[in-house]
Amino acid sequence: MVQAIFLCLLLLSISLQSSSAQAKNCSSESFSGNRRYSSCNSLPYLGASLHWTYHASDGTVDVAYRAPQSSSGWVAWAINPSGAGMIGANAFLAFPDSATGAVTVWTTQLSTYSPTVQNQNLSFSVYTKAAEYSNGLYTIYATLEVPSNNTKVNVVWQASTQFENGVPNGHSTLGDNVNSQSSLDLLSGHAAPAADNSKQHRKNVRNLL
Ligand SMILES: *[C@@H]1O[C@H](CO)[C@@H](O)[C@H](O)[C@H]1NC(C)=O
Ligand SMILES: *[C@@H]1O[C@H](CO)[C@@H](O)[C@H](O)[C@H]1NC(C)=O
Ligand SMILES: *[C@@H]1O[C@H](CO)[C@@H](O)[C@H](O)[C@H]1NC(C)=O
């Protein structure tokens, strides 16, 4: 009996280890629409990963943020150009539109700890934004201006199932949900499989300028 329980625990811990190892290898993730990125990092909280291609020539970056969530919940990824953490964060939120159920992406500037989230412009230019949901994962895609051309950016991310009037509203304030911030060096990151979507990138930026 004791041995059976021990065996179960052993198998459980092996399977947990291998699933977290899989979740943590960002290089093996792929994206729709032939999107490819030159760098990626597995983020230390909320099972998220960040992929990006930095374009020094025009000070922009293509980003893909991926994180697990139920399809009725929301995820968010933000840059904080003026500090760290939530206050001052310029966020991208992916969630199901309350009317159509289609995945939508909003941008919002967070200035309090209990904001009423609105879809508004950020403090830096956003050239493209999109989001999708597949296999238990949200992915947010964006091309944006790197604020002040500072390649060290403070990022913060979040996940929740709380809504108010169909709009993301509130999240857990424990553990991962408060630890989920870091500093990102756009010039670093794990190399991803060789890729060049800079042609598409230039087209996107041109279309919006
Ligand atoms: C991560 O995935 C890449 C691409 O699939 C592979 O080449 C690499 O060996 C993996 N790294 C680890 C630590 O598993
Ligand atoms: C960043 O630098 C690039 C290249 O010099 C320039 O084109 C771009 O306008 C700059 N962006 C900002 C926000 O100053
Ligand atoms: C948001 O940004 C767009 C593009 O730069 C601009 O045309 C629009 O006027 C801005 N909206 C507000 C409310 O500032």
Sequence-distant (6+) residues with CB within 8 A of 4 are: none
Round to whole Å and give the CA distance between 132 and 107: 15
* pLDDT at residue 13, rounded to an integer: 46
What tens digit of pLDDT does each residue of 49-67 get? 999 999 999 999 999 999 9
Q: Is 60 exceeded by the pLDDT of residue 5?
A: no
Residue 65 β-bridge partners: 50, 140
Looking at ligand 2, which atom is closest to the CA of residue 125? 13
Rounded distance between C-alpha atoms, residue 140 and residue 64, angstroms: 6
Centroid of ligand 2 to alpha carbon of 37 (angstroms)? 20
Position 206 scores a pLDDT of: 53
48, 122, 193 from 72: Cα distances, Å: 17, 25, 32
Which domains are delineated in the chain?
Answer: 37-208 (2.60.40)
129: CA distance to ligand 3 center in Å?
15
pLDDT digits (tens, 9 = 90+) for 11-33: 444 444 444 444 568 999 999 99
Residue type present at position 47: G
